[in-house]
Structure 1
Amino acid sequence: MPLTIFLIIIGFITVLQSATPFLLKRTIAFGVTIPEGHTDNRTIASYKKTYTMTVLVTGIFSLAGYYVWATTDSLAEEQVVLTGLVIQFGILFLSMGLYLLFHAKTTRLKQSQNWGSDLKQVRIADLAIRSKDEMLPSSIYALPMIITVGLIAYTATQYSSIPDLIPTHWGPSGKPDAFSQKTPFSVIALLLILLVMQGMMLVINVFTKRSGIKLNAAKSKTSKVQQLSFRKYTSWFLFITSVLVTVLFGFLQLTTIHEGLGNTALMLAMPLGFLLLILLGTAVYAFKVGQSGSRIDVSFDDTSTAGITDVDDDKYWKAGVFYVNKNDPSIFVEKRFGVGWTINFAKPAGYFILFVPVVIILLIAFLL
């Protein structure tokens, strides 16, 4: 079971990381703004190809070697898990190192060839676009939270029948491998963690909905469709993730209350099914939508406007990864490398939204 899980995760990370340069807007390469007219530059294309092939080949060989090693030797489960984690982080660190290398090369190339000096930088604003935004209302995100509150109430009614030892961790086999003494706090600790996670997702949806909608100056009609689609599917993906986490944690809570509820097969199937659904959803989101909706096909021909390009805001992106702009009211902004959102590090509220829930979750786990 651990081997299967790690093979799936390593394979997924390899594919997603190797494909990342081709999931982004054409006007962004390795965290650098590429002006109109230079998006098809051969040198940039070679950087993308080298990055992709290096990550992909390394991942494939690592995956094959890991499988052969794990199936030919009599190994302890801990060895398989530890090695799988090392390979995962190895691929991530490799991709991060390659990104920083090509970010620096792309920056130097852009500066040495003075790209965009002959183009007028334009920022497009559409005052009516907010009315067309189809992101889910935040009230929808409250539904899983209501279910969690209901589970907390149900747990309270069943307190006397709950076993004296409460599972606090489940191993790769699906069986609990760590326990805590039954107390009014420990019996609902898992649900409290779930409630914090749900609250974080709700708040993220609120502030991504308020974030600025950036349109492409040269292709405003196309980017409008793509931006609205990106925001809609991001909202749905986040909500589905919240629902899936609720189902998994709710199931684990019910098996704690009713010991006979989950047989071995079901305890294996639930976490594995959760993992597969999350990975499948992430793959659909990344490959069908792309960053900023760049992979969304439009049904009309939007001819590029000559002589203009987007405003170059590279100065606000540290290493093309960390966005620091105190003049931008947006707390969440679209990533420049990868699919999804990141925080505006100049806004303290972003730290609060992301890191306070993590601290609370760690505190709950520590108190068990």
Structure 2
Amino acid sequence: MHANAVPAVLPVLLIGFLSLLTPLLTPRSVQFGVRVPAERADDPVVAQARRTYWTGIGAVTAVAVLAGLFVASAGAAGIVAMLVELAGSVAVYLLARSHVADAKRDGHWFEGRRQVTVTDTTLRTRPEPFPWLWALPAVAITVGTAVVGAVRYPHLPARLVSHYDIGGHPTSYADKTFLSAFGLVMVQVGITALIVALSWITARGKAELDAQDPHAAERHRRFVTAMARCLLVLAAAVDLTMFFAALAMWKLVGSTGLFPVLLLAPIVLATAGLIVVTVRIGQGGSRLRFDGGDGDRKATGPGGVTGTGAVTRDDDRFWKLGMIYINREDPAVFVQKRFGVGWTVNFGRPAAVGLLVGILAIAVLVPVLAGSH
């Protein structure tokens, strides 16, 4: 066992914890990526699938941690643990999903039910105002970093530290150029622009409204607003981390001692806040409570849908394994996930695939740029 492998497996514990929470965050009409009538969320088969899933995730996480702690190379501990956790979690999810899908098929859960698609035109005519003010901290931090850098630039040495180890000690240097001096500012600009753009696009994206839920539109409004605010706070946190890193590179603060903690603190706190909000509201606002509780969800829905056996259209054919959405007839680029919180892309739209590739490219390049400074 390598003592220095312990920090490397901490992300695995976080992923395991979030995986355990996921079934509690999804709407009642979607269980393990399978569309079901809302009242079937309490079916014994679904309850057993949850227990199987929770047991499996617990076991997978334990194995992943042990694999990370006892792997031969301490440097590979995090990678090994993460691979075991991700592969095992997907396998456990697919097992639970198969139980629900089989029960739905064999029990003819949608037979005799009127399947409908619900829309609320006010989401387009009177959309929820986007929280632009929440983007100001990220913009202010980025501008502030650029100003500090401009003032400091003439006084910088000919060679700048381009990389620090985990203890805050410099490990490599680069010649002083505009790119090397302001690389982290460019990262800030990219992160801020990307998160603001994605927040706005998803807030104006397709609404998933449950025909059996009379509060579906209100849930959607609160969900997209809360998630947009959390993402904008996360952008500010990342920018603040880049600001501290830039101060160290510009020799305005020391990089040893508690500096690594200071560097990570903004992102850790913002991520913790995002998790708390996610648990509070659930995917699509499914955990929000309204007067009358959930009992009225079986009586009437938005758009005038009443308690005549109407349910949300069974659209499982568009969801491969309950995770990958492919619908060429759907103009939406982003759709809400079936399992988890947030959005995924419609792989049936070429523009969506191109956008996803671009986002992944930025996600790969940003850590490379940040790590090289």
Q: Structure 2 length normalisation: TM-score?
A: 0.84
**Secondary structure of the residue that 2:311 maps to in structure 1?**
strand
* 1:192 paired to 2:194: no
The count of aligned residue pairs is 358
* 1:236 paired to 2:239: no
Which has the higher mean CA deviation after the structures are superposed, 195-204 or 98-107? Answer: 98-107
The answer to whether the 8 A contact 2:280-2:288 is kept is: yes
- Report Cα offsets for 1:89-139 as digits up to 9, x if no partner: 311211011222333343233222222111101222222245665453457
Cα deviation for residue 66 of structure 1 reads 5.7
The equivalent position to 1:344 in structure 2, one of 334, 343, 346, is: 346
- Report Cα offsets for 1:322-345 as digits up to 9, x if no partner: 112233232211111111111122
Q: Which residue in the other structure is 1:245 paired with? A: 238
Q: Which residue in the other structure is 1:89 paired with? A: 83
When residues 274 and 2 of structure 1 are mapped into structure 2, their CA distance, relative to the original with a 3 A threshold, is farther
* 1:280 paired to 2:272: yes
* 1:216 paired to 2:218: no
**Secondary structure of the residue that 2:109 maps to in structure 1?**
coil
- Report Cα offsets for 1:278-330 as digits up to 9, x if no partner: 44123203321211111222223425133111011112112211112233232
Q: Which residue in the other structure is 1:166 paired with? A: 160
Give the letter aligned to residue 186 of structure 1. Answer: S
Q: Which residue in the other structure is 2:14 paired with? A: 12
Q: Which residue in the other structure is 1:324 paired with? A: 326
The answer to whether the 8 A contact 1:204-1:353 is kept is: no
Which has the higher mean CA deviation after the structures are superposed, 120-129 or 160-169? Answer: 160-169
When residues 354 and 362 of structure 1 are mapped into structure 2, their CA distance, relative to the original with a 3 A threshold, is same
Give the letter aligned to residue 284 of structure 2. Answer: S
Distance 1:251 1:149 in 2: 14
* 1:269 paired to 2:271: no
The equivalent position to 1:202 in structure 2, one of 190, 196, 212, is: 196
Q: Give the % identical residues.
A: 26
**Secondary structure of the residue that 1:220 maps to in structure 2?**
coil
**Secondary structure of the residue that 2:171 maps to in structure 1?**
strand
Q: Which residue in the other structure is 1:136 paired with? A: 130
Distance 2:76 2:158 in 1: 31
Cα deviation for residue 253 of structure 1 reads 0.9
The answer to whether the 8 A contact 1:286-1:339 is kept is: yes
Distance 1:285 1:303 in 2: 23
- Report Cα offsets for 1:182-229 as digits up to 9, x if no partner: 2221211222122112111111012112212222111222x2332222
**Secondary structure of the residue that 1:298 maps to in structure 2?**
coil
The answer to whether the 8 A contact 1:196-1:361 is kept is: no
Cα deviation for residue 247 of structure 1 reads 0.6
CA RMSD, 1 decimal = 2.9
- Report Cα offsets for 1:169-194 as digits up to 9, x if no partner: 44332334343332221211222122
- Report Cα offsets for 1:255-289 as digits up to 9, x if no partner: 211x2513523412213423431441232033212
Q: Which residue in the other structure is 2:290 paired with? A: 298
Give the letter aligned to residue 297 of structure 1. Answer: R
Give the letter aligned to residue 48 of structure 1. Answer: R
Q: Which residue in the other structure is 2:93 paired with? A: 99
Cα deviation for residue 64 of structure 1 reads 6.7
* 1:312 paired to 2:304: no
Distance 2:126 2:150 in 1: 44
Give the letter aligned to residue 280 of structure 1. Answer: A
Cα deviation for residue 8 of structure 1 reads 3.6
The unaligned stretches of length 5 or more in structure 1 are: none
**Secondary structure of the residue that 1:179 maps to in structure 2?**
strand
Cα deviation for residue 7 of structure 1 reads 4.8
When residues 180 and 363 of structure 1 are mapped into structure 2, their CA distance, relative to the original with a 3 A threshold, is farther
